A and B are shown apart, each in its own frame.
Chain A
Amino acid sequence: MKNKVVEVKNLVKNYGAKDVQTKALKGIDLVIYQNDFIAVMGPSGSGKTTLLNILSTIDKPSLGAVILDERDITRISNKELSKLRRDKIGFIFQDYNLLDTMTLEDNIALPLSLNGVSAKECMERTKELGSLFGLTDHLKKYPYQLSGGQKQRGAACRALITNPEIIFADEPTGALDSKSGRELLDCLKRINEEGRATILMVTHDSFSASYAKDVYILSDGMIKCRISRGAERKEFYDRIIDVQTSMGGDFLCE
């Protein structure tokens, strides 16, 4: 029996005033187990970003619950939320969000060092993750000296350094060329397969989604279908494309 990491129950999010309401999420139920690698796909306006924002505690839902670490994170105080974000969640953003005032090494070590972990351990962990993501030669460089791919792998290291229970990745390959994108996805897949990370990735790109174990397709604020990977990534990719094609331009399920 796998451990539940996140449980989403009947998540609803409405925007706007009562008379002109836009329903971004219309009741999402989702369970993420330890060591899952989930991709959430969907056309623009389907609610992907809203879902991710709520899961990653950046936004609050109108209704429903998100259980993480046995607590409903939609109901806890800001102070506890900060702590939760710091200790249990890792983030990878589309535009890397590395701090340009410090070296890659400092960027990666930052969350750990601010958590009060000893300098020695910070350095060891940074080196280890750096080598895992092929960044050893770039650790002393500043973000402006790195390529997009290197930056994004650095951001992944920063997300992983605190050993979070779950990593939320928002279009992580969105700003990368295909080679850099592949390198990043390979890294994410590897750490997931090694049992070191549970990942939820939001993407609109079928190729990126094919690196996940399960793909949820979101449309009009609801989960329309779930596709699970077999043995082959290539075959999984074809299936995602098939579903996408069959759903048509606006991703409607059959």
Chain B
Amino acid sequence: MRMMSLALMNFKNSFRNYLSLVISLSFTILIFFNFQNIIYSDGLAVLGAKNKEYTETVVQVISFVLVCFMFFFIWYSTNVFLTKRKKEIGIYVFMGLSNQKIGRLYAIETALTGVSALIFGIFSGVLTAGLFQMILFALSDIAVEISFQFRIKPVFITSGVYLAVYFIFVLKGYINIVRSSVLSMLLGTKQNEYVKQNVAILFVKAMAGTVVLGTGFYLAVRESGNGVNIMGNLFLAVVFVVIGVYLLFGGLIPFVFQGLAKNKAFLYGKERCLWVNSVVFRMKKNYRTYAMACILILCSVSALATGFAMKNRYENVKIFESVYTFQVLSSWPDLGEEVRGIIGENTEITYSAEIPIIALKEDTVAANENFGTYALVAYSDLKKLAENVGLAFDFQEPEQGQVVRASHLSLLSLITDSSHISVTIGGKVYQQTEEITVPYMGYLQDKVSFYVVNDEEFKDLVPLGQKLYTYNYRMEDLNVFETVREELRRFREDVISDYYMGIVSMDPSKDTLEWIKISYSLCIFMFMVFILASGSIMFMKLYNDSFEEKERFLVLRKIGMSHKVLQKSIAAELGAAYGLPFAVMAVSSYFSVHALELMMKADLRIINVVSVLTVSGIFLLCYILSVLTYQRNVGVSENSLL
């Protein structure tokens, strides 16, 4: 009991010191709670069972990522806490306390910190849950009445997960203290006095890092046909990039800085002697933090790109889905009347159109970007279809050796000039003169790449694939959708057994894609969470460092270094601390976003640029805050005498 009151007293006395830890832990809890709360709230029910299920899966996946993040975050913050406290509580050795007792004292204090963070986190989580959902559904463009609800289950899950993770690290700290020597406890923070690292080891790490990261980048952007391969590559790429980034910060970057510190002609200019040496010193201790921040912002950029890719897909699919209710694909040329008859018996047909296409064999087409399946349509056929359906049609007939690409909508395409793109069909090179995104072919156009050729060419190219006929209908009365679909299926089975016939039906009553909209909003949240997390990790790390640097700056001021010089040196050093992870992320994000582009077949370059700019803005803000607090903490303010 006396131990408990001592721990309580310590906790109360130095609560201000723990505040940053408590706040950052509660923030993690708040985010996790809010995500869990979505699953158990009524909000999702309005989306229907299927959507709820998908959204829950997405939320669970995100929650898993958050648990991983929580794990590392708690690991990191308890570590900082342990080093800070070790020296202080080490003094108890002189009072005759055993390591076990000191360990217990530490464990109680840390547990108190953890529990206060939990209470604070859950409390603010419950308060913000409504707001979080409101923003989420507003972003997703879904109208839902949000009322204040309190569900106990997410509280239990959040507390359970958090306490389990937290307990591991309290135990780790306890074991660490029990096994510590008296000396190491008293030295506390002064353990890492070795500045330089072995150049040979650094070189090996640098080489390995470059190779691993390069391999990761290569795997991310390698175009290897089918989706399974891309997913496999992507998984490997993620593993390689994570290891590569760690090796880069643990090897190449210190290697370069140690090289710079050796080059005195460079070092003795401006304030470099101060900050370059400081970066070398700090890099050894902080490289894991920098690597973690770098990976987190990379995740953040990827999350945003994923969100936009999903939104893009959603919108595309929506637009292309809504053109026709039924699309029948068959090798039988005269199916039109019969299909029309089946639909016409049940409802009016708003519009309909028939058009022959050539489904090209896979090996006959070589385009500079791989779009999957290719098909050809004749210019005048398409023109007729557009007239029937009432879609705009304002491009010229391609000449011999020219094609017009009819593609699905791509998000903010950067390709404004498509005139230099060529495509090889059956060994002949065709110049692409234009790219159009009018959904002439409806849903099929989202799945298949259509090239419009002139009528003559169309006839000549028939041998390169299979000639199919498409019959497209939009019904007036959507209530009979099910009946019509059934009849069409029966027709396929009974009548057309000798021919190929495919039916694409768009069920208007089922909005099975609402979950994509929520996923999109969740991705934006993840983007913000990851940025804030990496920003706050960097800020916290540098905030802690500034206290360690206090003595060093006092010496510098004593020997007459002006505030201006020291401020410049701090600005340069922290610039490196923020700039390096940012630069590595900016380069890596190109590859990660490109990998997403490949996987989701969307143009995400603008998103890449926008997200990198957003990160740079937030990092700049954190940087300025860090510089100001650092200067204050080390006492480089104009008001002090020294």
C-alpha spacing A91/B559, complex, angstroms? 6
The answer to whether B552 touches A99 (Cβ under 8 A) is yes
Q: In whole Å, how far is B506's beta carbon from the nearest beta carbon of chain A?
A: 67
Given contacts A101-B281, A119-B269, contact A110 B274 (CB under 8 A): yes
Q: Using a CB-CB cutoff of 8 Å, which residues 104-155 of chain B contact chain A? A: none
C-alpha spacing A109/B261, complex, angstroms? 13
Q: Using a CB-CB cutoff of 8 Å, which residues 143-158 of chain A contact chain B? A: 144, 158
The answer to whether A93 touches B558 (Cβ under 8 A) is yes
The answer to whether A101 touches B559 (Cβ under 8 A) is no
User: Is B325 an interface residue, CB under 8 A from the partner?
Assistant: no
The answer to whether A97 touches B563 (Cβ under 8 A) is no
The answer to whether B269 touches A114 (Cβ under 8 A) is no
Other-chain residue from B552, B559, B563 in contact with A111 (beta carbon distance below 8 A): B559
Q: Which residue of the partner chain A has the closest CB to B563?
A: A82
Other-chain residue from B196, B272, B274, B562 in contact with A82 (beta carbon distance below 8 A): B562
The answer to whether A113 touches B562 (Cβ under 8 A) is no
Chain B hits for A98, CB < 8 A? 555
Q: Which residue of the partner chain B has the closest CB to A102?
A: B277
Q: Which residue of the partner chain A has the closest CB to B558?
A: A91
Q: Using a CB-CB cutoff of 8 Å, which residues 14-32 of chain B contact chain A? A: none
C-alpha spacing A106/B267, complex, angstroms? 9
User: Is B280 an interface residue, CB under 8 A from the partner?
Assistant: yes
Other-chain residue from A78, A100, A112, A113 in contact with B641 (beta carbon distance below 8 A): A78
Chain A hits for B272, CB < 8 A? 113
C-alpha spacing A99/B271, complex, angstroms? 15
The answer to whether B641 touches A114 (Cβ under 8 A) is no
Q: Using a CB-CB cutoff of 8 Å, which residues 529-584 of chain B contact chain A? A: 552, 555-556, 558-563, 565
C-alpha spacing A159/B559, complex, angstroms? 8
Chain A hits for B638, CB < 8 A? 78
C-alpha spacing A89/B561, complex, angstroms? 11
User: Is B183 an interface residue, CB under 8 A from the partner?
Assistant: no
Given contacts A78-B641, A119-B264, A142-B195, contact A102 B273 (CB under 8 A): yes
Chain B interface, >50% SS class: helix
Chain B hits for A97, CB < 8 A? 555, 558-559
For chain B, the bracket of interface size reads 20 to 34
Chain A hits for B195, CB < 8 A? 100-102, 142, 144
For chain A, the bracket of interface size reads 35 or more
The answer to whether A100 touches B193 (Cβ under 8 A) is yes
User: Is B642 an interface residue, CB under 8 A from the partner?
Assistant: yes
User: Is B194 an interface residue, CB under 8 A from the partner?
Assistant: yes
Chain A hits for B641, CB < 8 A? 58-60, 78, 81
Given contacts A101-B195, A113-B268, contact A106 B277 (CB under 8 A): yes
Q: Which of A79, A85, A99, A144 has the most CB of B within 10 A?
A: A99
The answer to whether A120 touches B560 (Cβ under 8 A) is no
Other-chain residue from A86, A109, A119 in contact with B560 (beta carbon distance below 8 A): A86
Q: Which residue of the partner chain A has the closest CB to B266?
A: A119
Q: Which of B267, B269, B558, B559 has the most CB of A within 10 A?
A: B559
Q: Which residue of the partner chain B has the closest CB to A87?
A: B560
Q: In whole Å, how far is B137's beta carbon from the nearest beta carbon of chain A?
A: 52
User: Is A75 an interface residue, CB under 8 A from the partner?
Assistant: no
Q: Which residue of the partner chain A has the closest CB to B190?
A: A100
The answer to whether A101 touches B280 (Cβ under 8 A) is yes
Chain A hits for B561, CB < 8 A? 82, 86, 111, 114
Ranked 8 nearest A-B pairs via Cβ? A85-B560, A86-B560, A119-B268, A82-B562, A113-B268, A101-B281, A102-B277, A97-B555
**Can you sample 20 A-B contacts with CB below 8 Å?**
A78-B641, A81-B641, A82-B563, A85-B560, A86-B559, A86-B561, A89-B560, A99-B556, A100-B552, A101-B280, A106-B267, A106-B277, A109-B264, A110-B273, A113-B267, A113-B272, A119-B267, A122-B268, A123-B268, A158-B559
- Given A83-B562, A102-B261, A102-B277, list of 18 further CB < 8 A pairs? A82-B561, A82-B562, A82-B563, A85-B559, A85-B560, A91-B560, A98-B555, A100-B281, A101-B278, A109-B273, A111-B560, A113-B267, A113-B269, A114-B271, A118-B268, A119-B265, A123-B264, A144-B195
